[in-house]
Amino acid sequence: MVQVDNLGRILEEHPFAEGLDQALKDVMIGCAANERFEAGQFLFREGGDAKKFYLIRSGVVAVEVHAPGRPPLMVETVGDGGVLGWSWLVPPHKWAFDARAQTLVRALSFDATCLTRKMESDPALGYQVMKRFVPVMAHRLHAARMQMFDLYGPAKKG
């Protein structure tokens, strides 16, 4: 089992924590766990309960969406230093995408219920977390939009 002080070091090394006060990092670590996913394993599935988010330490995760009558469409990949899973922030707290490990993935996960409770009691923490997630959300939605253009846009004239 990974010790709390080691989780703190792992968080400290991740770009998500850049500029975050030490006291806020310490609060976040109380909601953290170290996780590992083998290639092909899902971190989460579209429509499932969004109870965590992940800071990717190493490896590559494919963010996928389902299109009717087609295989899953890869929206983007998230690798070392990436943030995965914003659906825990938005009711009804259901995953908007699938996330599948493409390689061995090591990640720091955060329990959404635990972190939400701490964010509600500490507005500074809430602001700092939201400040870091809004760009992730905007980027992911933009990537999905671009894939939809490729999938459903007008056919190119040859």
Residue 151 in this model has a pLDDT that exceeds 60:
no
Spatial contact of 63 and 76, defined as CB atoms under 8 Å apart: yes
Which pLDDT does position 140 carry in this prediction? 64
Domains of the chain (ranges plus CATH)? Answer: 4-151 (2.60.120.10)
Which pLDDT does position 44 carry in this prediction? 97
CA–CA separation, 27 and 94 (whole Å): 25
pTM (2 decimals)? 0.83
Spatial contact of 153 and 146, defined as CB atoms under 8 Å apart: no
pLDDT single digits (tens) 28-82 = 999 999 999 999 999 999 999 999 999 999 999 999 988 778 888 888 899 999 9
